[in-house]
Amino acid sequence: MRVLRSVMFRFMCLSVFLVLSQSARAYDFGVGDINVPEGFEGPVLKTPSEEFSAIGFTRQHQGDEKSTLLQLTVFTPPNGIPELNEAKQIAFSKQYLMQFLEGVKRRRDNFSTSAIETVSIGGTPAARIRWQGRSTDNNQALYGEMYCLIYQQQLLSFHVQDFTDFDAAGYEAARQAVMAITLK
C-alpha cells in the first residue's frame, strides 16, 4: 500500500509540474526574464526611441473586450546611471516610479495611491505603489500597481492594471509574475 501511495504521489507531483511548466512562458527582456502567465497574449513592442522600449501583454476578460495589462518598460539613459549604494538606488527608484506614474495619473480621474513600498525583484530593491482611479476616456474604474528599479544602468518599470468589475485572477497572475522576475 505504501508503494502504491508513493507512486501515486510521485505521479501527482509530476502532473502538477507539467501543468505549471506549460502554464507560463518565459519572455527575455534583455536584462531579465518574466514568466508570462497563461492566457496573456503578446508581446506588443513599442520602441519610440533607442533608449526606451515598452513591452505589453494582455489577458482578455471572458465575454468582454476589456483586458488585464502587464507592461514592462526599459529605459536606458543616454549618459548612464552612476554607481549607487542601496539607499540611493531605492531613493532614485522611488523618484522615477513617481515620474512613470504621472503617465497613468494623467489619464485618470479620482486618482489615488498607496504609500510607496520597498520590495525585492530578482534580488534587487524596487519601489512599488498601488493606485486606483477612473479612466478619463470611458469613466471605467481601474486599479493597478507599478514597480520601478535600477539594474545594470537601466531603469525598469513594471505595470499591472485591470478593471474593477472583473475577477482579479489575471491581475494576481501578472502581479505574481512581476514579483518572480529573474534578473541576469
Could you list the mean pLDDT of each consecutive 10-residue stretch along the chain, which spans 184 residues? 33 34 77 97 95 96 94 93 93 96 96 98 97 96 98 96 96 98 96
Tens digits of residue pLDDT in 52-64: 999 999 999 998 9
* pLDDT for res 6: 33
SS (H, E, C) 80-138: CCCCCCHHHHHHHHHHHHHHHHHHHHCCEEEEEECCCEEEEECCEEEEEEEEEEEECCC
* pLDDT for res 19: 36
Question: Which residues are paired to 22 by β-bridges?
Answer: none
DSSP string across 28-71: E-SSEEEEEETT-EEEEEEEEETTEEEEEEEEEPTTSS-EEEEE
Whole-model pTM? Answer: 0.85
Give burial (CB, 10 Å; 0-12/13-18/19+) of 40: buried
**Contact criterion met (CB below 8 Å) for 131 and 104:** yes
Task: Please tell me the distance from the alpha carbon of residue 181 to that of residue 121, in angstroms, as a whole number.
Answer: 6
Domains of the chain (ranges; CATH) run 24-183 (3.40.1000.10)
